[in-house]
Amino acid sequence: MHPRATLAATVLGSSLAFIDGSVVNIALPALAHDLKVSPANLPWTINAYLLPLGALILLGGALGDHFGRRRLFLMGLSAFTFASVVCAAAPSLGWFLAARGLQGLGAALLMPNSLAILGGSFIGEARGRAIGTWAAAGALAAALGPIAGGWIVDSVGWRTIFLINPPIAAAAGYLAWKYVEERKESQRAAPLDVIGAAIATVGLGLLTFALTRASESHAGHASTSAAGAGIALLGAFLWYEARLGDRAMMPLAMFAVPTFVGLTLLTFFLYGSLGGLVVLLPFFLIRIESWLSIAAGAALLPVPVLIGMGSRLMGRVASRHGARLPLAIGSGLVGLGLALYARIGTQGIDYWRDIFPPTFLVALGMGACVAPLTTSVIASVDAHHVGLASGFNNAVARIAGLIATALLGFVFAGQESAETFMIGFRAAALICAECAAIAAGAALFLVDVASPRR
Per-residue pLDDT, 237: 94
| Mean of pLDDT values over 328-353 | 92
Q: Of 182, 201, 216, which residue sits at a domain end?
A: 182
Per-residue pLDDT, 377: 86
Q: Are residues 208 and 319 in the same domain?
A: no
CATH of the domain at 270: 1.20.1250.20
* pTM for the full predicted model: 0.89
Q: How confident is the model at residue 189 (pLDDT cuts 50, 70, 90)?
A: low
Q: Are residues 375 and 266 in the same domain?
A: yes
Q: Which domain holds residue 235?
A: 191-248
What is each CA distance from 306 to 300, 339, 352, 378, 391, in whole angstroms?
11, 19, 17, 23, 24
Q: Are residues 210 and 66 in the same domain?
A: no
pLDDT digit string (tens) for 7-28? 999 999 988 888 887 788 899 9
Per-residue pLDDT, 130: 81
Q: How confident is the model at residue 453 (pLDDT cuts 50, 70, 90)?
A: very low
Contacts of 29 (CB under 8 A, 6+ apart): 283, 286, 287, 293
Report whether pLDDT(316) > 80: no
Q: Are residues 119 and 196 in the same domain?
A: no
> b/e map of 131-160 (b: 16 or more CB within 10 Å)?
beebbebbbbbbbbbbbbbbbbbbeeebbe
Q: Are residues 157 and 277 in the same domain?
A: no
Report whether pLDDT(124) > 80: no
Q: Of 212, 230, 248, which residue sits at a domain end?
A: 248
Per-residue pLDDT, 220: 65
Question: Of 33-42, 98-107, 223-232, 308-317, which gets the smallest average pLDDT?
Answer: 308-317
Q: Of 162, 182, 202, which residue sits at a domain end?
A: 182
pLDDT digit string (tens) for 287-306? 889 999 999 999 999 998 88
Report whether pLDDT(454) > 70: no
Q: Are residues 232 and 305 in the same domain?
A: no
Q: Are residues 281 and 203 in the same domain?
A: no
Q: Are residues 325 and 421 in the same domain?
A: yes
Q: Are residues 39 and 89 in the same domain?
A: yes
Q: Are residues 72 and 20 in the same domain?
A: yes
pLDDT digit string (tens) for 205-226? 999 989 888 877 666 677 888 9
Burial class (CB in 10 A: 0-12, 13-18, 19+), 322: buried
CA distance 80 to 70: 15
Q: Are residues 228 and 263 in the same domain?
A: no
Per-residue pLDDT, 451: 44
| Mean of pLDDT values over 190-210 | 88
Per-residue pLDDT, 450: 61
Closest by CA to 101, choosing from 195, 204, 172, 32, is 204
What is the number of domains present in the chain? 3
Question: Could you tell me if 57 and 395 are in contact, meaning their C-beta atoms sit under 8 angstroms apart?
Answer: yes
Q: Are residues 204 and 317 in the same domain?
A: no
